[in-house]
Amino acid sequence: MKIAVLGSGAMGGLFGAYLSRENDVTMVDINPAVVERINTQGLEVREPDGSSAVYRPRAVQNARGMDPVDLVIIFMNARFSEAALGGNPELIGPETYLMTLQNGSGHEDTLAKFAAKDRIIIGTTQHNANAAEPGVSNHGGSGVTHLGCVTGSAARLQPIADTFTACGLEADVSDDVQKMIWNKMFTNVSASALTGALQVPLGFISRNADAWALCRKLIREAVDVAAALGMDFDYDQKVAEVKAVCDNAPNGLTSIYSDLKNGRRSEVDTISGSVVRAGIKVGVPTPSHTFLVGMIHALEGKNLPN
């Protein structure tokens, strides 16, 4: 397959590297230093067992002069997805699939501005990685990548899943992938979002009575919105799962914590904000999520010039 990966950070680098084992992969990144690093030294993936390997996809700053590819995978902060797709129209033809494995939900609304709904793939992955340095991904853990469609049967995506699996990224297809995406979100929209606003590690959320009460309210609202969307989750089970995450990683620092601590904009709009937008669509109030999204944006604003 001809594949373009938009974004060469930790996860984009990981997937681009693995997929280049069997495919023609192009990494697209606006950072010239990253592009030069990939083209001269390759993409390095450091595995949990201490081993590492270097892969050689090509890298470009933009797709000017390229032909459409079979698959475009968006792996970047969701705030930049629309600009990245709009800035690289050469990649997208009538037969091109656009795929998002980004955190949060609702990304298909952005992708639908650039491709027909039957060419959009949504999914979730159990792989995780962090960036050791530009062009180097620390592969933290593996798992299954689940792929699904916005419309129609996911069975037609089996060749893409097979390609992923052949490259060491085990994948399957599911008509229930939207529920899988939401299932992965509960910790992010509750405990993780609170660690950012409070600037605390995960353990504080389950240990402190006031923080835990707030966390439970956020889970309750998310479960109610999901139910209105036709996805039933057991509230008590979700609470137990989120608590286990906090208890098992008491010193864990989330990406939203790091973004706010380091003066960066966060992905709150595509994570907690997706619950707010979905609640509006289905008529379910989300006052706690609405307040938290506003609070996090206010914290981001502290670091902006007046």
Start-to-end Cα distance in the chain: 48
* pLDDT tens profile 170-220: 999 999 999 999 998 999 999 999 999 999 999 999 999 999 999 999 999
Distance between CA 107 and CA 150 in Å, rounded? 11
Domain with residue 271: its CATH number is 1.10.1040.10
Q: Which of 129, 148, 175 is the last residue of a domain?
A: 175
Distance between CA 74 and CA 3 in Å, rounded? 11
135 and 21 belong to one structural domain: yes
Total domains in the fold of the chain = 2
38 and 145 belong to one structural domain: yes
269 and 160 belong to one structural domain: no
Distance between CA 144 and CA 148 in Å, rounded? 13
Question: Residue 241: helix, strand or coil by DSSP?
Answer: helix
Q: How would you class 84 by CB atoms within 10 Å of its CB: exposed for 0-12, middle for 13-18, buried for 19 or more?
A: buried
* pLDDT tens profile 246-293: 999 899 888 889 889 988 888 899 899 999 999 999 999 999 999 999
Q: Is 306 among the domain residues?
A: no
pTM of the model: 0.85
> Which residue segment(s) compose the domain that 119 sits in?
2-175
